[in-house]
Amino acid sequence: MPEKKYFAHPNSLVESENIGANTRIWAFAVVQKNVIIGEDCNLCNGVYVENGVSIGNRVTIKNGISLWEGLKIEDDVFLGPHAVFTNDKFPRSKMHLGNFLSTEIKMGASVGANSTVLCGITLGKYCLIGAGSVVTKSVPDFAVVAGNPARFKYWISKNSEKLVFNNNGIANDSLNNKYKLIENEDRTKNSVREI
């Protein structure tokens, strides 16, 4: 039997064999068999990962989070304590539709503590979900949203600085990353991309 390159606390239950090097799985965490976890991840106490979940590299999953089938998490994502994810819009006891809605969390996104993320949506690259928010629709890249329901607040950089755009719609952060504001007639569909 090959040596494990990850750490699993003795009080965790880890059934998957698809776990990357230097990942740490702490006490009372459960990882089912058909789960993929990348390298250098941290799954804190009481995390539950159901079959069919995919987790990228360098992902932090704080205490008390359940990740359900249909969830895909890209690299460098942060999930705050007790965040809630769903995979069924109309749940009923003992009634399983068979096809759960997929939810994607893109690279670098952060979800605040006690937030609820409904299924079938995408959280964009480097977006930030405020603590206690209820996210009912997809969130654009670099957007900060908060509240119930979560609403757009402002744009944020990869290193968590509020973006201030010049007259040409360009913003820089302190690490010299550049961003372009793409304005749309319907302001709710504005977006930001890195240039």
pLDDT digits (tens, 9 = 90+) for 140-174: 999 999 999 999 999 999 999 999 999 999 999 99
Task: Quote the pLDDT of residue 70.
Answer: 93
Is there a contact between 182 and 192 (Cβ–Cβ < 8 Å)? yes
3-class SS shares of the chain: helix, strand, coil, % to 5: 0, 35, 65
- What is the full DSSP assignment across 14-69? E--SEE-TT-EE-TT-EE-TT-EE-TT-EE-TT-EE-TT-EE-SS-EE-TT-EE-T
Task: Quote the pLDDT of residue 2.
Answer: 65
Mean local confidence (pLDDT), 126-137: 98
Q: Which strand (E) or helix (H) includes residue 143? A: strand 143-146
SS3 144: strand
Instruction: Count CB-CB contacts under 10 A for residue 5.
Output: 11
Task: Compute the distance between CA of residue 9 and CA of residue 131 in angstroms, rounded to an integer.
Answer: 28
Residue 111 main-chain phi, psi, to 5 deg: -115, 120
**Domain residue limits, the chain:** 7-159
| Residue 79 β-bridge partners | 61, 111
Mean local confidence (pLDDT), 31-49: 98
State the pLDDT confidence band at 97, using cuts at 50, 70 and 90: low
Residue 96 has pLDDT above 90, yes or no: no
Mean of per-residue pLDDT scores for the chain:
95
Query: CATH 2.160.10.10: does it fit domain 7-159?
Result: yes
Task: Quote the pLDDT of residue 44.
Answer: 98
Task: Quote the pLDDT of residue 101.
Answer: 87
